[in-house]
Amino acid sequence: MDADLESKMQAAIDYCRRHPHEKQAHIACKYGIHPVTLGRRVKGTQTSRRAAHRDQQLFSPGEEDAIVELCKLIADCGFPLPQDLLHHMAQDVLNEHNNDNDNNGVKEIHEIDQKWVE
């Protein structure tokens, strides 16, 4: 679920909790989200896709944010962000993560998804 859709979902969940007598199907329509997913999220039987797969991610949300902020800083300075530089930055963060966690199973980033660069 992309960030915009997730923010709509969270707004709809908040609205549902503030207005428990309003039909969830109407709320889902108002926010442009699927009513079944909204119902499951309100009940707590389903989490966001990001939360559900957090244990499969190489980076913590904080590490991802740090990479994004560094990329923004480089772009704001007027420098291009080649894919190999992004790869090295991400690998450095991952290496630091492995060192901090005393992880003997060193992970390596083999390739950067093109969506990261866009």
pLDDT tens, position by position, 21-35:
999 999 999 999 889
Residue 89's nearest CA partner among 107, 64, 55, 106 is: 64
pLDDT at 23: 93
CA distances from 75 to 26, 79, 82, 84, 92 (A): 42, 5, 11, 15, 19
pLDDT at 18: 94
Least confident piece of the model among 15-29, 53-67, 92-106: 92-106
pLDDT at 25: 92
Residue 25's nearest CA partner among 15, 38, 13 is: 38
pLDDT at 94: 77
Residue 48, pLDDT > 70, answer: no
Residue 112, pLDDT > 70, answer: no
Full-prediction pTM beyond 0.95?
A: no
Residue 104, pLDDT > 70, answer: no
Other CB atoms within 10 A of residue 28 CB = 20
